[in-house]
Amino acid sequence: MVKRRDARYTGPALATAVVLCGLLATLLTVAGLRAAQRENTRRVMDQRDRMAVAAVRAETDRYRTLLETVASGLATDDEITWDDFDQATFPLTSAGLLGVVAVAYVVPVGTADVPAAQERWRAAGANGLTLRPDPGTNEHYFPVFTRMLNDQDTPAGSAGADLSSAAQPADALQTARQTGGSTVSDTYVLLRDRDRPAGERQQSFVFAAPVRTRASDPVFHGWVVLGLRGGDFLTGVLSTVSQGQLDGSLVAINSDGSRAGIAELSVPGRPDLSRSATIPIADHVWELRLRADSSRLPGAGGHLPVTVLVGGLTLTGVVAWLVFALATGRTRARTRVDEATAELRAAEEESRKQAALLSAIMTTIGDGVSVVDHSGRVLLENPAAQRLMGVTESSDDPQAWQEHYGAYRADGVTPMAVDEMPLIRAMRGEPEVTGEVLIRNAGRPDGVLLGVDARPLDPSAGLRGAVAVFRDITELRQYEKDLAIFAGVVAHDLKSPLAIVRGHCELALDDPDDAVEVRTSLHRIVRAVDRMDALIETLLAYSTARDAPLHLADLPLEPLVGEVLQERAASLRSTGGPEPVWTVGPLPAVRADPAMLRHVLDNLIGNAVKYVRPGAVPRADVTAVEATPGWVRIRVADAGIGIPDGDKTRVFDSFHRAPGSAGYAGTGLGLAICRRVVERHGGEIGVEDNPGGGTCFHFTLPAAAGIEETEMKHIPTEPVEEDDAQVRAALERALAERAAIMDSRLPGLSALPAAEPSAHDPAAARLRAPVPDHQHKV
């Protein structure tokens, strides 16, 4: 019976115990949830505070960076105009600058210089500019160019206003000029806002960046100034961060230590949480104060505590809920973890894609890229860099770079010292280093001239070092060398005939009654004009041989060779020269550009009949044989003065003439044109001694039969082997050779060329009628 009684109380006791335990657990749980909510609101408040501070700092840093970029761009112009300012500041219109009213270019002007400055800047594009100096100062600061960045404002009243009338912007401008860096002013009401009603005025400030040249002794021009309204700025920055849940106020600590409120932002609620942070802005410090109603922040509300309380009082519900929670808690937790880390995984995947893209870019680009740390250890070197420098393994010891890579100065002789290497200079902190390095090693036996652009590694990489970009500029420097010689020769060869023309015209004018002398002068003038025309034709052919498109066709060689021989014979007869002798063997058809092939034959045959010893009979023998299947080798042999062995490899260079040709007319371009034409057809050209005396030129062209398409080769670039002194020597040698052929003098003038028609002048040849062929064909 006792047992029954005990059993009777067991249920209620257990029930009571369960209720008490459930109630205790529920109360403790509710208390813990409330504490967690309060902690969560504090974390949210801290997070919003950090986001707001970061947003203000990021925006102000962005404004300063954009302003300094504009100032740097304007510093490159010696005379700044509205067009320069407009181009430099145009990107700001789409930059989304919160609170910014306008950007202006401000210049300092003394009181006595105001009228002259007004005229100067009007001429530079500031139409209608009127400078209004403040009588209280001797130096005035006038915005002469202004770009509005706020659609609600107009430029009226801003251009020409004297900023020295307001102490705050004036102090900021003076500080920027003294320090050479960007500054921010103390708070004040913008000059353009002082006519507004008091309720619409905002505390504002300006950013200023000096405009200085980049020379070793920089010259100060003025400032680029950005006007900013504090209220609009704070509202724009905090509107996204606060999500309508934060009160905000921005306080500036002025230069004199006073505190001035810039702007305030209010939202509904009763704030019970607050945060405060200082933000360095240029040479000033701002204080951002944030307040929030904790009940309005995420995580503060919810009915979970009430739900837990009700569930704890209902034992069955509590047990059911606990069972359900235990059964499904792990899955729900895993889902929540996946949701919480989804953004992190996406960011990680994006980072991998960016790394793969960067690797692909570095492998694909043709420019070499090398990255080293502060000790010279190579961190990254793309395949193009190894190919350009002719090595497959890098060296981590800067002292061994010269020997490892074979680095020389641009002259190709002087080894480059370690301190001169652009990458070393960039490692030591020089901001922008450019230079030229000649690399010559086992992988690059002929040498390659590299243009190097090196800079210190950006601090965001987390380590000190440098990065360099290499480009092959061998062909560019060779082209510049040819262009320098080309310009000198053209200037000399065009001036000489003009001097003849002028001299003979003066003779004719001095004694117009002497018909014989006048006729003689006119003939010499005509010959001088012929020389100019021949030179122009040669220069045109030189350019055409390099750049003009090929018009390929199947054409027989024999008629073309016969026509060129006839014209050359007629040219010699017209000048009283000896009758040439020639032989022409069987010639097949070839596939070539007719006009360019004619120029090659005309040059080679012309040289054969021109470069002969005095009194000797000119001779030309033209034959052809099969070189390789599908190719024809054409030979043009002569009995002339020949070419020394030391010059055979150079006769095809532009403006080069062998020493024995100094007494013969010519430009030094004929054989260079021939080489360009032949190589563009995919063939080769060369020269050797003629067994019977003289010279034999030979070149290959594709045969007409069985060839539908010929692969054209680009003209190979020549290695850079000459420095500026050698270029000048080549130019002086070319001019000296031309001076040697001048055989006509006028009274009272220095020696002038006789202006004989060029023996290889196609224009002159076309003016002469062809003559019957009295020579031999084999």
In the chain, what percentage of residues exceed pLDDT 70? 74
380: region left, alpha or beta (phi > 0 left; psi from -120 to 50 alpha): beta
Lowest mean pLDDT among 40-54, 96-110, 689-703: 40-54
Identify the sign of the CA torsion 94, 96, 97, 98. Answer: positive
- Segment 311-331 shows an average pLDDT of 62
What are the b/e assignments for 331-355, b being 16+ CB within 10 Å? eeeeeeeeeeeeeeeeeeeeeeeee
What is the pLDDT, as a whole number, of residue 328?
A: 59
What is the pLDDT, as a whole number, of residue 742?
A: 39
Helices marked H in 90-145: 114-123
Amino acid at 172: A
- Segment 299-308 shows an average pLDDT of 63
Strand, coil or helix: what is 196? Answer: coil
Mean pLDDT of the chain: 77
Give Cβ neighbours of residue 673 (< 8 Å, ≥ 6 apart).
538, 541, 542, 545, 599, 600, 603
- Segment 425-441 shows an average pLDDT of 87
Report which secondary-structure segment, H or E, holds 411. Answer: none
143 — pLDDT class (breaks 50, 70, 90): very high
304 — pLDDT class (breaks 50, 70, 90): low
Q: Which two tokens stand for residue 493?
A: 């060869």
User: Residue 570 above 50 pLDDT?
Assistant: yes
User: Residue 769 above 80 pLDDT?
Assistant: no
745 — pLDDT class (breaks 50, 70, 90): very low
32 — pLDDT class (breaks 50, 70, 90): confident
Strand, coil or helix: what is 409? Answer: coil
| Burial of 666 per CB tally in 10 Å (0-12, 13-18, 19+) | buried
Q: How far is CA 679 from the centre of its chain?
A: 32
User: Residue 17 above 70 pLDDT?
Assistant: no
User: Residue 758 above 50 pLDDT?
Assistant: no
What is the pLDDT, as a whole number, of residue 546?
A: 59
Bridge partners of 434?
Answer: 453
What is the pLDDT, as a whole number, of residue 666?
A: 58
Selection from 723, 718, 729 nearest residue 409 by Cα: 723
What is the pLDDT, as a whole number, of residue 729?
A: 55
User: Residue 185 above 90 pLDDT?
Assistant: no
Task: Report whether 265 contacts 235 (CB < 8 A).
Answer: yes
The DSSP 8-state label assigned to residue 415 in this structure reads B
- Segment 13-23 shows an average pLDDT of 66
What is the pLDDT, as a whole number, of residue 224?
A: 94
HEC assignment per residue over 373-400: ECCCCEEEECHHHHHHHCCCCCCCCHHH
Phi first, then psi: give them for residue 289, nearest 5 degrees: -115, 130
What is the pLDDT, as a whole number, of residue 623?
A: 93
Across 360-364, 713-717, 769-773, which has the greatest mean pLDDT? Answer: 360-364
User: Residue 711 above 60 pLDDT?
Assistant: no
What is the pLDDT, as a whole number, of residue 221?
A: 87
What is the pLDDT, as a whole number, of residue 658?
A: 57
- Segment 50-55 shows an average pLDDT of 84
What is the pLDDT, as a whole number, of residue 442?
A: 86
pTM of the complete model: 0.39
Lowest mean pLDDT among 60-64, 657-661, 675-679: 657-661
What is the pLDDT, as a whole number, of residue 501?
A: 72
User: Residue 325 above 90 pLDDT?
Assistant: no
DSSP 697-764: EEEEEEBSTT-S---PPPPPPPP----HHHHHHHHHHHHHHHHHT--EE-TTS-EE---PPPTT-HHH
Give Cβ neighbours of residue 493 (< 8 Å, ≥ 6 apart).
531, 535, 667, 738
Across 277-286, 555-564, 738-747, which has the greatest mean pLDDT? Answer: 555-564
The DSSP 8-state label assigned to residue 550 in this structure reads P
Give Cβ neighbours of residue 264 (< 8 Å, ≥ 6 apart).
231, 234, 247, 248, 249, 250
Question: CA–CA separation, 406 vs 437, rounded Å?
Answer: 10
739 — pLDDT class (breaks 50, 70, 90): very low
Selection from 70, 125, 57 nearest residue 102 by Cα: 70
Strand, coil or helix: what is 288? Answer: strand
Count Cβ atoms below 10 Å from residue 113 Cβ, excluding itself: 14
What is the pLDDT, as a whole number, of residue 664?
A: 57
- Segment 621-641 shows an average pLDDT of 91
- Segment 730-745 shows an average pLDDT of 46
